[in-house]
């Protein structure tokens, strides 16, 4: 996550205040005035940020801010999917954001799987895609060779998917992400939201999705999203981000509700901490 200059953070606050008081005043003029160069011998102010990036600033502040995010080294959570009251997926994650160490545990067809790997150390396979360096176990037995590579590639794909469902608003200004402000849109709750479109450089992540984030113009919080799956021509339904909860120094939404019905995603046992717990990445014990 790129650190912004102090002026950029201050401007986001000023723009938010000005927007609530003087709707007709262009944001670009507010930014220009807030960061106008003074004749004091200091370095010139940074270039004005456009509307999409101003909303990115506001979203990040609503989550706890840039400093709180950068000081959060360890994140853990369970990614749980429910359909008609039945749990159909329950995956346990642990992540050292600084070193890239990752632990994933889940069951597939009743068989337990564990993967320990480094999400920063990847190699590209022509069939499996991105494979992280690491180890994998199935039903308590460590895998080797092609089965290990397949399990690690699957684990990396799960990491990308599940962490994005939890942490997407923190990642708007990651390298390779492009933001565009697309005006406003009124959703089913009769609230008019700011719309920010996110697209990505080719090869970033494991899919070719595009996202539309709906930002509450008063709080700066992302209330919902909508996305294209891969290269599909039509976006999917609006999905609401709900149950915003303080976790460590961050504020996270712990429930995803599909407006069109279908499965619900919730997050449990969520941890956001500055230290890594002992044993968080220890290999599974052999029976």
pLDDT of residue 122: 97
Q: Is the pTM of this model over 0.95?
A: no
For 155-282, strand residue ranges (E) read: 177-186, 192-200, 210-215, 222-228, 239-247, 250-258, 264-273
Q: What is the mean pLDDT of residues 7-25?
A: 36
CA distances for 137 relative to 19, 85, 107, 134, 235, angstroms: 53, 30, 11, 11, 37
pLDDT of residue 1: 46
Best CA proximity match to 257, nearest among 239, 235, 236: 239
Q: What is the mean pLDDT of residues 268-282?
A: 98
Does domain 65-287 bear CATH number 2.50.20? yes
**Contact by Cβ (8 Å): 226, 235:** yes
Instruction: Determine the Cα–Cα distance for residues 152 and 137; give it in Å rounded to an integer.
Output: 10
Domain ranges of the chain: 1-49, 65-287
pLDDT digits (tens, 9 = 90+) for 76-121: 999 999 999 899 999 999 999 999 999 999 999 899 999 999 999 9
Instruction: Determine the Cα–Cα distance for residues 282 and 265; give it in Å rounded to an integer.
Output: 28
pLDDT of residue 229: 72
pLDDT of residue 233: 67
- List CB contacts of 187: < 8 A, sequence separation 6 or more: 193, 214, 223, 224, 238
Q: What own/partner pairs with CB < 8 Å and gap ≥ 24 does 172-181 have?
A: 172/56, 172/59, 172/60, 172/196, 172/198, 172/213, 173/1, 173/2, 173/53, 173/56, 174/1, 176/200, 176/201, 176/204, 177/201, 177/204, 179/52, 179/53, 179/56, 180/52, 181/50, 181/51, 181/52, 181/55
pLDDT of residue 230: 66
pLDDT digits (tens, 9 = 90+) for 211-239: 999 999 999 999 999 998 766 667 789 99
- Residue 17 scores a pLDDT above 60: no
**Contact by Cβ (8 Å): 235, 259:** no
Q: What is the mean pLDDT of residues 128-156?
A: 97
* Average model confidence (pLDDT) across the chain: 85
Give the confidence band of 209 by pLDDT, cuts at 50, 70, 90: confident
**Contact by Cβ (8 Å): 91, 158:** yes
- Residue 204 scores a pLDDT above 70: no
Give the confidence band of 57 by pLDDT, cuts at 50, 70, 90: very high
pLDDT digits (tens, 9 = 90+) for 149-178: 999 999 999 999 999 999 999 999 999 999
Structure-block tokens of residue 40 = 């004091």
């Amino acid at each position: 996550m790129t650190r912004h200059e102090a002026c950029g953070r201050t401007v986001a606050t000023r723009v938010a205040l000005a927007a609530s008081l003087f709707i007709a005043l262009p944001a670009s003029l507010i930014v220009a005035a807030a960061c106008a160069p003074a004749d004091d011998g200091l370095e010139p102010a940074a270039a004005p940020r456009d509307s999409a990036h101003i909303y990115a600033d506001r979203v990040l502040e609503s989550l706890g801010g840039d400093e709180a995010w950068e000081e959060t080294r360890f994140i853990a959570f369970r990614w749980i999917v429910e359909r008609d009251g039945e749990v159909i997926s329950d995956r346990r994650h642990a992540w050292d954001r600084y070193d890239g160490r990752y632990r994933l545990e889940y069951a597939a067809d009743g068989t337990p799987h564990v993967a320990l790997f480094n999400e920063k150390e990847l190699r590209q396979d022509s069939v499996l895609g991105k494979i992280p360096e690491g180890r994998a176990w199935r039903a308590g037995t460590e895998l080797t060779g092609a089965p290990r590579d397949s399990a690690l590639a699957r684990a990396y794909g799960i990491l990308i998917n599940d962490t994005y469902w939890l942490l997407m608003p923190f990642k708007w200004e990651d390298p390779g992400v492009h933001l565009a402000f697309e005006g406003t849109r009124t959703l089913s709750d009769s609230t008019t939201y700011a719309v920010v479109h996110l697209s990505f450089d080719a090869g970033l992540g494991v899919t070719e999705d595009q996202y539309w984030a709906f930002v509450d113009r008063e709080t700066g919080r992302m209330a919902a999203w909508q996305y294209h799956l891969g290269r599909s021509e039509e976006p999917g339904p609006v999905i609401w981000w709900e149950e915003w909860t303080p976790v460590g120094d961050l504020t996270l939404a712990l429930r995803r509700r599909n407006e069109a019905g279908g499965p619900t995603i919730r997050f449990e046992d969520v941890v956001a901490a500055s230290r890594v717990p002992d044993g968080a990445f220890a290999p599974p014990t052999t029976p």
